[in-house]
Structure 1
Amino acid sequence: MALCALPPFSFARPAGPRELVAAGTRNEGIYERRPNGEFAGLGADLVRLLARRHGYQPRFEIYPWRRALEVVGGGKADLLVSPYKTAERLRVMRYSEQAFFQDELAFYVRADAMPIWEGDYTLLKGRRIVIINGWAYGEAFAKALPLMNVSVTNTVENGLQMLSHGHIEMFASNRRDTDPVVKQLGLGDRVLALAPLIDVQDAYFAYPLAPRHRDLPAQMDHLLIELKKNGELQRLARRYGVTLP
């Protein structure tokens, strides 16, 4: 998931009794803040639909990804938009049963310097690889971390710039967030995603272990099931260029 350099809103104002506070990071097609301050994307739309149905007043907060995880895990927001599931996160957050989109994770490399990967992490021993702070890349990647020379950055843009300038050899990211930035930076002839994929991950909504709105997780699951059945989720996914599970 991509990170955001925009400053977060403040939680100094206490949440009202029917306010629904959603937290997330800048996330292509999922959770984005427009120049006018409005939030857009599949995740933001689903939060609004849920709020209208159950009488909540939605409020959107945006953070760097690791901070967004901490805010929801610490009970300072009601809902986190788009985390993948990991054992570590399941210790501090509760997840929806229903996933609402899916990501492909890949290594990005320079076209003139393509390491041999083939899905075998032993081939990456000592490789200089950058990852995004707080992102999860799957169990196999996590187990292989000691083999690689891994550093951390906070944005997709930074990771791609580090790669294009030769500061690293590989950048691990998801294609939904990264392919548009490759195009925006004019790197289409210099940077490419390396096959095979690192992993394919489903993404969810997550909640504090003791949610302020106790029925919220079940309400979101019921909404997602209904939208899948009537085709509305598929329509929204096409609108935002998002892949469904």
Structure 2
Amino acid sequence: MPRCSRAVALIGMLLLAQPAFAQRLRLVADAWPPFTDATLINGGLATDIVSTALARAGYASDFEQVPWARALMGVGDGRYDVLVNAWYDDARTHLGQFSAKYLINRLVFIKRRDDPIEFQNLEQLHDYPIAVVRGYAYSAAFDQDTLLQKIPVHNFAMAVRMLVARRVRLTVEDEYVARYYLAQESPRVRNSVEFLPQSLSENSLHILVSLKNPEHEQIVASFDREIAKMKTDGSYARLMKQHGM
């Protein structure tokens, strides 16, 4: 083989040995620590898991943090490829394709310590104003119950302060998210509230891949495959431990 041909063949072999990144994906999420937040290690637990699984599948990625409504709209119109932190909702299937679950979120109600509210079923809560984050899906039963008095707010910090100020009787949030934010509140706020023991629901967390991306089915399949491998080889557990879970 001529020397030039051997050089070309060697370069080709080296290129084939490198990870073949099909495209650079635009990841998006809102600020939802400890799961997604640009100020945390690798963008938070969920962002780290998602970007790692996608990288293993051959997809490079960039992460952008924007408000929730903008993130969801951006996936719908194709501005972003992957929404990192989506709970399943039928309406969202018109915007993107869901992956299989890769995390579980346990949703709990939070009340003032001096408020004797009990929760076994949603009917018990119909008389209580409940602060909810605008645009979030909680559970099918909760979201569809028109007799619940849902008070939309911008974020959990606003919700818990309204709770302490007696402007609402309850709020609801993922347990780990609530604990993260409560740790940053004043002792007066933090010590004034408590979790109800029974959870509202346990929701599975997914990525939502924009239908505008022509490879959305392949991206989801590759992501699901790599998450399964990560759980088998121990890398998933190592990421959980790294993020304090």
Asked whether the equivalents of residues 111 and 196 of structure 2 are also in contact (C-alpha less than 8 Å), the reply is yes
Whole-angstrom CA distance in 1 between matches of 2:51 and 2:129: 42
Displacement of 1:154 in angstroms is 1.2
Q: Over aligned residue pairs, what C-alpha RMSD do you find? A: 2.0
Aligned to 1:61: 64
Tell me the SS of whatever aligns to 2:144: helix
Asked whether the equivalents of residues 27 and 82 of structure 2 are also in contact (C-alpha less than 8 Å), the reply is yes
Asked whether the equivalents of residues 30 and 240 of structure 1 are also in contact (C-alpha less than 8 Å), the reply is no
Stretches of 4+ moved more than 6 A in 1?
none
TM-score, L = length of structure 2: 0.83
Whole-angstrom CA distance in 2 between matches of 1:148 and 1:54: 43
Tell me the SS of whatever aligns to 1:160: helix
In the alignment, does 2:168 pair up with 1:168? Answer: yes
Displacement of 1:213 in angstroms is 3.6
Tell me the SS of whatever aligns to 1:168: coil
Displacement of 1:140 in angstroms is 1.4
In the alignment, does 2:98 pair up with 1:85? Answer: no
Whole-angstrom CA distance in 2 between matches of 1:65 and 1:141: 20
Aligned to 1:110: 112
Residues 42 and 183 of structure 1: is their aligned pair in 2 closer, same or farther, counting only changes over 3 Å? closer
Letter in 2 for 1:136: A
Asked whether the equivalents of residues 64 and 154 of structure 1 are also in contact (C-alpha less than 8 Å), the reply is no
Percent identity between the two aligned chains: 22
Structure 2: 5+ residue stretches without partners: 1-21
Whole-angstrom CA distance in 1 between matches of 2:190 and 2:82: 36
Structure 1: 5+ residue stretches without partners: 1-16
In the alignment, does 2:142 pair up with 1:141? Answer: yes
Asked whether the equivalents of residues 87 and 205 of structure 2 are also in contact (C-alpha less than 8 Å), the reply is yes
Residues 180 and 52 of structure 1: is their aligned pair in 2 closer, same or farther, counting only changes over 3 Å? closer
The number of residue pairs the alignment matches comes to: 221
In the alignment, does 2:55 pair up with 1:49? Answer: no
Displacement of 1:43 in angstroms is 2.6
Letter in 2 for 1:195: P
Asked whether the equivalents of residues 129 and 149 of structure 1 are also in contact (C-alpha less than 8 Å), the reply is yes
Aligned to 1:232: 235
Aligned to 1:20: 25
Aligned to 1:207: 209
Whole-angstrom CA distance in 1 between matches of 2:37 and 2:194: 24
**53-62 or 75-84, which deviates more:** 53-62
Asked whether the equivalents of residues 27 and 80 of structure 2 are also in contact (C-alpha less than 8 Å), the reply is yes
Displacement of 1:194 in angstroms is 1.1
Aligned to 1:181: 181
